[in-house]
Amino acid sequence: EVQLVESGGGLVQPGGSLRLSCAASGFTFSSYEMNWVRQAPGKGLEWVSYISSSGSTIYYADSVKGRFTISRDNAKNSLYLQMNSLRAEDTAVYYCARVLRGSGYYPFYYWGQGTLVTVSS
Amino acid sequence: AIRMTQSPSSFSASTGDRVTITCRASQGISSYLAWYQQKPGKAPKLLIYAASTLQSGVPSRFSGSGSGTDFTLTISCLQSEDFATYYCQQYYSYPPYTFGQGTKLEIK
């Protein structure tokens, strides 16, 4: 059974940092592109970042570029999101999401349960 | 970035109704369009991809159509468990992946 389990969320002050983790199991993690998607309270879905299966290709939403860093450790079956210079508008539930198939043009199929990040003083 | 616009933003319907949600892309995306269902406090669930391919395990009352810029999600006979928020997403041109703003389907 495929599982994605996020952790690392919490309350942080504006300007602070947080590192999210996503532990993957039930599939060959190193074969799949991964993403982070967030959802502010009462709002819609916003894609945050993408990483290819090898980690060689990375993309960010303009809203987080220069502040967030996505990475993965295929040996540990884990995905990460380092979030620096956090702002109030970064408050959201953060989901890790796996694409439907290994690579290519596919939507997000498996999602974690989400971890809440609250940026507030 | 490709902008995805859904309509309506919210909708009231009754069980047994047939409902249609539309999604328009700001430029052509071929058939690289997915539909998700999200219930409160839960992660989104993939319903349809490639505009019209039903994901395994999704009831056949859900269907999708369209290509290019105009797409629809149809629920043929609403069940109580279908009341949720629905999102479209394009995965034709990224970054960024983009989602519609969502359509909240409520019980009348």
| pLDDT bracket for residue A19 (50, 70, 90) | very high
CB contact under 8 A, B96 and A62: yes
pLDDT the model gives residue B76: 94
CB contact under 8 A, B92 and A35: no
Return mean pLDDT, chain B: 97
* A40-76 per-position pLDDT tens digit: 999 999 999 999 999 999 999 999 999 999 999 999 9
Question: What is the DSSP code string of A24-43?
Answer: EESS-GGGS-EEEEEE-TT-
Q: Which residue among A45, A59, A100 places its CB closest to the CB of B95?
A: A59
User: How far apart are the C-alpha atoms of B107 and B88, rounded to whole Å?
Assistant: 21
Percent of chain A with pLDDT over 90: 95
pLDDT the model gives residue A102: 78
Return mean pLDDT, chain A: 97
Please tell me the distance in Å from B97's CA to the nearest CA on chain A.
Answer: 6
Q: Which residue among A35, A50, A107 places its CB closest to the CB of B34?
A: A107
pLDDT exceeds 90 at position A103: no
User: How far apart are the C-alpha atoms of B23 and A17, rounded to whole Å?
Assistant: 36
pLDDT the model gives residue A64: 98
CB contact under 8 A, B46 and A44: no
Please tell me the distance in Å from A114's CA to the nearest CA on chain B.
Answer: 7
For chains A and B, what is the number of CB pairs under 8 angstroms? 58
Please tell me the distance in Å from A12's CA to the nearest CA on chain B.
Answer: 22
pLDDT the model gives residue A96: 98
| pLDDT bracket for residue A106 (50, 70, 90) | very high
B93 contacts in chain A (CB < 8 Å): none
Q: Amino acid identity, residue A91? A: T
pLDDT exceeds 90 at position A18: yes
pLDDT the model gives residue A104: 79
Mean of pLDDT values over A22-45: 97
Nearest residue in A to B43, CA atom: A113
Mean of pLDDT values over A32-42: 97
Nearest residue in B to A61, CA atom: B96
pLDDT the model gives residue B9: 97
CB contact under 8 A, A109 and B96: no
User: How far apart are the C-alpha atoms of A26 and A98, rounded to whole Å?
Assistant: 12
Please list, residue by residue across A110-119, b when 16 or more beta carbons sit within 10 angstroms of its beta carbon and e when fewer do: bbbebbebeb
**Interface residue A94 vs chain B (CB under 8 A):** no
* B21-64 per-position pLDDT tens digit: 999 999 999 999 999 999 999 999 999 999 999 999 999 999 99
User: How far apart are the C-alpha atoms of B2 and B100, rounded to whole Å?
Assistant: 10
Per DSSP, A90 falls in state G
* B70-92 per-position pLDDT tens digit: 999 999 999 999 999 999 999 99
A62 contacts in chain B (CB < 8 Å): 96
